[in-house]
Amino acid sequence: MSKILEGLKYSESHEWVKAEGDIAVVGVSDFAQEEMGDITYVDLPEVDDEVTAGEEFGALESVKASSDLISPVSGTVVEVNADLEDAPEKVNEDAFGNWIIKVKMSDPSELDALLDAAAYKALIGE
């Protein structure tokens, strides 16, 4: 059974978002990392890249497959977790403790369209 953190927002494509003012910290859920298996590569965007809610901003690769990362919010990338370039397995070890990008949101109201922990729990059937 995968872990779900209260107080975070979730997308249907299994990203989590933690809002800190107008900055959105984005990662993938524990359910997502479990489904993928051993993650071997994280394809990160660059700082200053524009991202759009619902659109791909990078990818996670497991041994077997590649899975797009979908941005839950729109805005500008202000930081990427470069640690993951050398240690992508950290996402498996702690999906909530290892964020992927931080986005300066252009429209924080987009957060309202995301799922809360209870709704996400229902989505993944746990």
Rounded-to-integer distance, Cα 9 and Cα 24, Å: 10
> Shortest gap between Cβ of 68 and other proteins (angstroms)?
8
Kind and range of the H or E run holding 51: strand 50-51
Min dist. Cβ of residue 24 to other proteins (A): 22
Q: What is the closest distance, in whole angstroms, from the C-beta atom of residue 32 to other proteins in the complex?
A: 15
- What is d(CA 24, CA 17) in angstroms, rounded to the nearest whole number? 6
Residue 117 to residue 38: CA distance in whole angstroms: 25
For residues 40-69, which are near other proteins according to CB under 8 A? Answer: 40-41, 43, 59, 61-66
- The verdict on 38 binding other proteins (CB under 8 A) reads yes
Contact residues toward other proteins (CB under 8 A) are 37-38, 40-41, 43, 59, 61-66, 85
